[in-house]
Amino acid sequence: MCGIFGFIGSDNVAGILIDGLRKLEYRGYDSAGICVKEENQLKIVKKKGKVDDLAREVKKTDINGVVGIAHTRWATHGEPNSLNAHPHFDCKGEIAIVHNGIIENYEALKEVLIDEGHIFRSDTDTEILVHLIEKFYSGNLEQAVIEALKLIDGTYGIAAISKNEDKIVVARKSSPIILGISSECKIVSSDAVAILEHTKNVIFLHDKEIAVLTKDNIKTYDLNGQAIDKKVEEIKWSIEQIEKKGYKHFMLKEIFEQPESIQNVTRGRFKEGKIKFSFELEPNDISRIIIIGCGTSWHAALIGKYILEKYVSIPVEVDYASEFRYRDIVLNGKELVIFISQSGETADTLAALREVRKYKSITTFGIVNVVGSSIAREVDMGIYLHAGPEIGVASTKAFTSQIMALFLLGLYLKSKKGNEIEKFIIEEINNIHKKIEQALNNHELVHSIALKYKNARNFLYLGRGINFPVALEGALKLKEISYIHAEGYPAAEMKHGPIALIDRNMPVVFIATQGRLFEKVLSNMEEVKARQGKIITITDYECRQLKNLSDEIILIPDTIEEISPIINIIPLQLLAYHIADEKGLNVDKPRNLAKSVTVE
């Protein structure tokens, strides 16, 4: 989704802004632009398309200045074109702004501003902000920004500059803003990955806070202009982690990082057979658990339901954040509500969290990857995944770590209920990375299967029990990066509708691992075979019946059923990856998608 980058230092900032935007590309965008303060004027270059296209335009100019702001836009209001791309100017071209988020009352404000004589050049909601700032500007940019923001309903992360002042003014409400601080420069970005190259020292701006960046310092205020002190924190991610390290795509690298990322979430958790966390939860005080997320994180939540109901015997509900936030949910104040998010910035998940926080007695719990993100900061307690930066839009390593985090939470609550954690479970957790490696060894086999089926127009993914969410996740991976229509279904539900789709052109991926429902899944496979569907089977047990039924078999190691999705998803991630790559698609940045969905 949209990305903000701004820089103030002593070097010409144009190239630095372009480099910053390149780091934000993975978030998804359709146009980009920069604005540089040059002596007493602002120079803007904007372009529909890729940052490379923008870079070519910038090269044709002689822009030279030490203060600048930049943006990658993911269109919400107004089509993706150069006019709607940010930065946006005021009437006289003296103030420029970049904005993430949505101004909800923009139409009413625009009417007033037009009546007052302001001239609009774009179809965006953002442009009203720069005209409001212009209206209130009398020589002090932060003052004008404060006045303008008082009139705004909606969400924003903004960075503004004026031709008259050597500063960048920044503000946020529900849209991430991180400030980088070093002796040579000050930076604003919506994402830590664009800051890392310059410094690891950052300040996380909170909602309704304003910052003023000059070359020498950063000052922070609340929306009334009262100064506030902010802590400087250190980002733990390294620059190497955001490079491809010889892999063709980030997604492939991240798939292969899973043996390591899974160890990061479990490291140091067990001591003498006991599980350790810094939070305290009392299962007897919890009436019900609700798990909330979007997309892949929602699929992890579904797996969490199986785990927690089995290990803790507390009823568990799972909801999409976007549905939960507007539902007339009945809460009794004794719930534990878990928010799962790789980015920690997903707008719907954050809004759902804020709804729940209105109930003071409810405990909110985050399972988040990005340290210091909004959700991580606003929950009462939680588990960080420590999976490292996930750059590919298709979530892979975060998913497997989310499952493990939910499993660890299940074990923690189980042990708090006075139950011992069996030795074999701890051993299995300690060895799961080796099993992921074994599953990854199917790489070439999966590639050859991808070559066979890459031209299929539809795919069906079927699984039962804990493998149903795995089927959903396999289908999501395929559709988001290969643009092939794919549906995940509980295998037994197939006969209630999707069976009508099955013929010799329909590949059906079965997740058929050992467990209570294995025999039942075999029966569902018979039903597909009888209608000439092509069966691709993921299994940990190659019995004769399964061999006869399957057109392709991918054998993976077996493990405890509750964490088996961590292994079972690996071939499905690889299958989606190879199909998309063989089709020549942009695996890491699929069309229309954003890595971090920061608008509703």
Q: Which residues bind ligand M6R (CB under 6 A)?
A: 294-297, 341-343, 346, 349, 393-395, 476, 480, 593, 596-597
Cβ 594 to ligand M6R, closest distance in Å?
A: 8
Which residue, 155 or 296, is less far from ligand M6R as judged by CB? 296
Minimum distance, C-beta of residue 343 to ligand M6R, in the bound complex (Å): 3
Closest by Cα among 306, 365, 394, 305 to 591: 394
User: Looking at beta carbons only, is 313 or 592 nearer to ligand M6R?
Assistant: 592
Minimum distance, C-beta of residue 295 to ligand M6R, in the bound complex (Å): 2
Closer residue to ligand M6R (CB): 169 or 350: 350
**Of 376, 387, 123, the residue nearest 266 (C-alpha):** 387
Burial grade of 448 (CB within 10 A; 0-12, 13-18, 19 or more)? exposed
Minimum distance from CB of 65 to ligand M6R (Å)?
35
Q: Where does residue 446 rank: exposed (0-12), middle (13-18), buried (19+ CB within 10 A)?
A: buried
**Which CB atom, from 480 or from 588, has the smaller least distance to ligand M6R?**
480
Task: Decide whether 294 or 432 has the Cβ nearer to ligand M6R.
Answer: 294
| DSSP secondary structure letter of residue 240 | G
Cβ nearer to ligand M6R, comparing 394 with 502: 394
Other C-beta atoms closer than 10 Å to the C-beta of 273 total 12
From the CB of residue 393, how many other CB atoms can be counted at a distance below 10 Å?
Answer: 21
> What is the DSSP-derived secondary structure letter of residue 419?
P
Q: Parallel, antiparallel, or unpaired: how do β-strands 270-271 and 274-275 relate?
A: antiparallel
Q: Can you tell me the distance from the alpha carbon of 354 to that of 372, in angstroms, rounded to the nearest whole number?
A: 17
Catalytic residue from among 2, 35, 185, 294: 2
CA distance 464 to 517: 7
Please indicate whether residue 434 is annotated as part of the active site. Answer: no
Paired with 36 in beta bridges are: 43, 68
Give yes or no: 595 in active site: yes
CB of 382 to ligand M6R, least distance (A): 13
CB of 36 to ligand M6R, least distance (A): 32
Cβ 346 to ligand M6R shortest distance, Å? 3
| Catalytic residue of the set 37, 47, 397, 595 | 595
The length of the chain, given as a count of residues: 600
CA distance 74 to 484: 23
Query: Bridge-partner residues for 253, per DSSP?
Result: none
Select the residue whose beta carbon is closest to ligand M6R and give its number. 295
Pairwise CA distance, residues 20 & 230, whole Å: 24
Q: Return the structure tokens found at 392.
A: 């590919």
CA-to-CA distance for 347 and 353, rounded, in angstroms? 10
Three-class SS string for 67-82?
Answer: EEEEEEECCCCCCCCC
Q: CA 267, CA 564: separation in Å to the nearest integer?
A: 19
The CA dihedral of 263, 266, 269, 270, to the nearest 10 degrees, is -70
Beta partners for 99? Answer: 158
Least Å from the CB of residue 297 to ligand M6R: 4
Asked whether the bond before 87 is cis by omega within 30 degrees of 0, the reply is yes
Nearer residue to ligand M6R within complex by CB, 85 or 294: 294
DSSP letters of 341-390?
Answer: ESSS--HHHHHHHHHHTTSTTSEEEEEESSTT-HHHHHSSEEEE------
Choice between 59 and 377, CB closer to ligand M6R: 377
Residues noted as catalytic: 2, 595
